[in-house]
Amino acid sequence: MARLFFALYPDAAARASLAAVLPTDGARGRVIPADNLHVTLAFLGDVDATAADALRALQDAVPVPPFELCFERLVFWERARARVLVPEAVPPEAECLQAGIRRLLTGQGLSFDRRPWNPHVTLERRAAPAPTRPVTPIRIRFDDYVLMASETRPEGAVYRPLARWRLPP
């Protein structure tokens, strides 16, 4: 069994820019390490090895052109007790990608979290309430997406990309 999710995984430079938002803002909760910063596209939860292998082997999974997300606001989400970065606008390519992944998972007979997609990067969990504030926009181009495995360790979650799909130009 592996705990899996599909994600947009920014490169190291972009992750560093995202991670730099919080320290200046005084985080008191659990700050997510830069290596773990991502945008969840679809969360599957525990998946058996056969289904995980089938997912990894998918060819040309969802043909959507590369796109950019521009993160512009730091928001406190009360129910999740998380502080997250959200983009002001979500390009249609991003919506198509996550919808395509959901279709693909349904086609594979796999279950996943069906709540409406709300693209974000979680920066801090167990966060104290804080007012929403604009941040210097962080524009990130995504030309691929990944299937990520999440392992819970005493020191926190460790994510490992299992497969990567390039978005066609």
Chain contacts with ligand 2AM (rule: CB under 6 A): 5, 40, 43, 113, 122, 150
Of residues 42, 36, 60, 71, the one with CA closest to residue 142: 71
What are the backbone dihedrals phi and psi of residue 110, each rounded to the nearest 5 degrees, phi first? -100, 145
In whole angstroms, the minimum distance from the beta carbon of 3 to ligand 2AM comes to: 7
In whole angstroms, the minimum distance from the beta carbon of 72 to ligand 2AM comes to: 18
Cβ distance to ligand 2AM smaller for residue 150 or 163: 150
According to DSSP, the β-strands at 39-47 and 2-8 are: antiparallel
* Distance separating alpha carbons of residues 53 and 8, to the nearest angstrom: 20
Q: 15, 83, 102, 120: which one is catalytic?
A: 120
Cβ distance to ligand 2AM smaller for residue 63 or 144: 144
Catalytic center residues: 38, 120
